[in-house]
Structure 1
Amino acid sequence: MNGTFYTLPALCAAVRSTAQRYGLPPEVRSRLVLSVADVAEAEFAVGHPVSFAVDVETDSDRGTPIMTATLKAPQALGPLSCVDLPLSAAPAPPTSAVTWHIPLAGENGPRTGGAGGFPQRSLVPRGRAGTVDEELRAALAVTDALRAEHRRLKHELAETNGGVLALYVQLEERDEQLRKAHGSMLQELEDALRPALLEVAGLELAVHYAPADPHAPTGGDLYDWFRLPDGTLHITIVDALGHGVGSTRSALDVTHAVRTLALEGHPLQSILGRAHELLTPLAPGLMATALLARINPTSGVLQLANGSHPPALLLPADGQARYLQVPGRGVGFPLPGSERLLQTRLDPGDLLILYTDGLTESRRNPCEGEERLIEAARRHAGKPLSDIPSAIAAEMHTIVLHPDDTLALAIRVPQEPELRQGL
């Protein structure tokens, strides 16, 4: 069958017969037939004949026989293409030839001798249809094996995905438990750092605090209140720069320094400047705003000193709400201290709101936040005092552009009994 061919069917039949006689597996045989047909088809289309020849060589390195199949197109107008063939091939000189090198098993090879190295006849003759069926069965077997492997891999992948999903759920649950435990621990720490609610005759007190991150409840917003030896109530509101434990430590430093100076008898107006002198050598990066308030429960006299902090809001029982502005700069600021001391009087029914900027700066315009705070305080002023700070914070935070720690503290002078009876 080493000869020239003029039609594609004749060539394919010769290649298939030769491959079968050399004992090529059906899959390799079908790939060789398809590859030869792909190369020769263009030549047959323009009426050019091709030749096909087979030889057997021995691999010098491995000592195994190799079948060499060569297709030549003497009249080809250019090099034959051997790209993307079902069975890899290589160009052979001249450029109008393509060669396939196919390793043969040890027992494979031509079963009967013949001229030109071609086998004359298979020991088990097959018709063309039987040979094609054999190749088709081999292809189907490969397809079935691939499908079975695909099903197995899908099953393994589904089991793996199920395991990964279960592990992910477990990790999420574990992470949530850790977050809650961490938050609970920090909340206990935060509660331990904040003073207990005071009971002061002639005054009602209530406070609300909410961290920027509920899973990390520590922050730089802190308050302190205590009674001075003369019975006056002292309140400190601090907002230290930053968030988290570092800012909590800064706020504690300020509140402790203020408490020490107040109990030593320093004038209220001088305390912030003195606290700056004490703290900045120990903590050079500390910056905090602070509002100091003193209230005489008997006379109702209120004194305020301010260091860069939002002003206190006063809602008189009879009168217009107003902010109690006191100029000054906070601890760690240039020229720290309160520039003056504000003094006014709280009458029965008056409501005083002390807070940090997280309550009013949830929107970009602080002035808008202060206006909203007045409206919210008016709406909730008639509630029990213990509910007022939380109710105001909830209303103010219906619109939040950037979360921040929030502290709101409310002080009210109760109505006198005879006045309450006349209402």
Structure 2
Amino acid sequence: MLETIKLVKSSGSNDVVIVFSSRGVEKGKFTFFKSLSTSNKNVIFINDHESKWYLNGTPEFNSYGRLLDKIRELIQSLQLTEKSITCIGTSMGGYAALRYGRDLCADTIIALGPELQLKLPLSRSENSIAGENLDDSDISEVTYDSRVFLLYGSNDLNDLYHASKFQHHNVKQSVYVGQNCNHEIAVNINKEMPIGDFFTKIIDEKRVPKLSFLNNHRITFAEALIIYDFYQRVSEGSILPLALTSELTSITSNQYATFYKELGKYLLSVNMLSEAETALKNSIRIDDRPSLPVLLLARIYNLNCKFTSALNLLQPLAERAPTISVCLELIKASLNLNMSVLTAQTIITALELAKTEESRIRLQRQLTELVESPVI
């Protein structure tokens, strides 16, 4: 019995759905199996449980061509006079859905957060197959006759790059961004609509169902390239060229809170306070849930002696997500506003948060410096 491929038949259906599992799914199990195995469609589930990005098929077939032939054999075994083929995948499976789907002449391809150019720095595929002697086919500039629906989360700058490059070469295809979603956009979809129903509607109606957080992808590939270059450089600890910094601060978007957070963080580190303030405000405007942009904006206010503004940000933050860093900024603001009771309460909270001897010693040193010289 095969462990990396499983066919679930549905009598009377002309639909063939091929689902490529994401990385990290253990042998014998398949992504979206519970959601799609009971659908009214014939479904072929596939799992490359060694997470080699399906470049060698699966461990049972040991080559791309052999797995492709096996899929064709299973489709042929259904003996359908007419058929409609759909390939589905997320992350690693999204790459496979696009690549195998093109070779299978699939009618529809649904790819969630796929990489199109493998082993780029900081990518998931680099983490999985770096150093592997595999034919890592670059499909980032491939065009498709199939109807493609590509979806990704706005908080993943790596996925933003790949989605933008896909759209650049496939302008008539459908690319959607999940507002304030991470790489695992399927999780967000499933909260509003069962993921199996979501896929079924796309297959049957050839359109993406309306969900509250899904929007059309709007950023240009040129802008995405700038963002990706920034993401790589900052992750490596590099200082950005002035020209790149200027290009970054000129990008306007209502979708990418993570980009603005990272940009604000970098600009603050190089003391470009006004530009950092703008970037962080944009991040908070798009998504006010993460704590870091609020903390960094409050830090800028403290540096600019806008202590009341800092206080207004930090007090609610200290209540919902107290950390030592938040407490230290709140202490700076309250000291300079002569709010002695709040200062004392926040010092107690900070000391309670310091769990190790090393962190307590470091905190006491920081508190001493603040009390002796509160004005920034």
TM score, norm. by length of structure 2: 0.24
TM score, norm. by length of structure 1: 0.22
Which structure: greater helix fraction?
2
Q: Which of the pair has more CA radius of gyration?
A: 1
User: Relative contact order (alpha carbons < 8 A, sep ≥ 6): 1 or 2 greater?
Assistant: 1
